Amino acid sequence: MTLVWWQIVLLAIVQGIAEFLPISSSGHLVVIAPLLFGSTDSPEGISDLSIVLHLGTLGSILVHYFKRVSALLGEDRQILALLAIGTLPAVVVGLPLKLLFPAALESPLLAGVLLIVNGGVLYLVSRIPPKENTYQQLSIGKSLAIGVCQAFAILPGLSRSGSTIAGGLSVGLSRSSAATFSFLLAIPAIAGAGVLEALSMIRKSEPLSTSPGLLLLGAAISFVVGIVSLRLLEKLLASGRLPWFAIYSVIAGIAIVVWQWQGAIE
């Protein structure tokens, strides 16, 4: 069971959309996999594809936030320390979860339950009156709090972008600053995830199971779709549309739980 071009295109589109919109890319992928391939087993080549799709969405962040990323090397150098602090919880909490409970992180039922939780969190945060603090004004403690939100988003169904934006809004950031800090924080998170997957492949001495051309196609699609998703999220967030994502998450989560429950009793 190997990946074919249309499956790569579909997964790249899903990655590009769900990586940035607060609806959980991991939650959608663990559900789409069994539906798409008719099996609970990962198809051959999925590790290769996962790495390049992450690189594609990482490229989206670097291009969309180019000026802000460049500022990290100049007037915003102090933000690098805050990003490092915000990344620590993902290393301390998220990495052990990934290593110790890999099966749980691929559970469609867990993804369904946590999508409902994700929707509830987004709705509650949308009720917080918007503030005007910028991410440059974050303290160490508030950066760490946002990082904790990111760490638990390794669980399928909890959106990384949704969790970190929610964390940013909760500590008093403006909507635009919450989104910006969320995606600056995503740079080491996504890059680190890609490195871990690559190292895992190297240790197993696994050759590429998908042609380089198809992998590049997947990366390009996730890159383009990712940029569109980032622009869309910024507009919807500025206009207070988080409840839209909350409603979608709850409906999708309930549908997944019902699907899993029906499968269990058959």
Contact between 32 and 14 under an 8 Å Cβ cutoff? The reply is yes
Radius of gyration of the chain (CA): 18
C-alpha to C-alpha distance for 87 and 7, rounded to whole angstroms: 32
pLDDT at 44 over 60: no
What is the pTM for the complete model shown? 0.87
**Beta bridge pairs of residue 133:** 173
**The predicted structure's pLDDT at residue 38:** 66
pLDDT band at 30 (very low <50, low <70, confident <90, very high): confident
Q: Where are the domains of the chain?
A: 5-264
To which residue do tokens 């399928």 refer?
Answer: 156
Is the pLDDT at 208 greater than 80, yes or no?
no
pLDDT level of residue 70 (50, 70, 90 thresholds) = very high
| Residue indicated by tokens 């291009």 | 63
Cα 263–Cα 50–Cα 82 angle in degrees, nearest 5: 110
pLDDT at residue 264 is higher than 70: no
Distances (CA, A) of 93 to 81, 119, 196, 266: 19, 23, 15, 36
Any idea what DSSP says for residue 240?
T
Quick check: 100 pLDDT over 70? yes
Tens of pLDDT, residue by residue over 229-261, are 999 999 998 888 889 999 999 999 999 999 888
Find residue 2's DSSP bridge partners: 44
Average pLDDT over residues 88-97: 85
| pLDDT reported for residue 200 | 65
| Distance of alpha carbon 140 from alpha carbon 27, whole angstroms | 30
Is residue 165 within 8 Å of residue 60, measured between CB atoms? no
Place 201 in a pLDDT band, splitting at 50, 70 and 90: low
What's the pLDDT at 145? 96
* Contacting residues for 121 by C-beta, under 8 A, at least 6 apart: 162, 163, 166, 246
Please identify which residue in the block is written with the tokens 């909890």: 158
Q: What is the pLDDT of residues 216-237, one digit of tens each?
A: 899 999 999 999 999 999 999 8
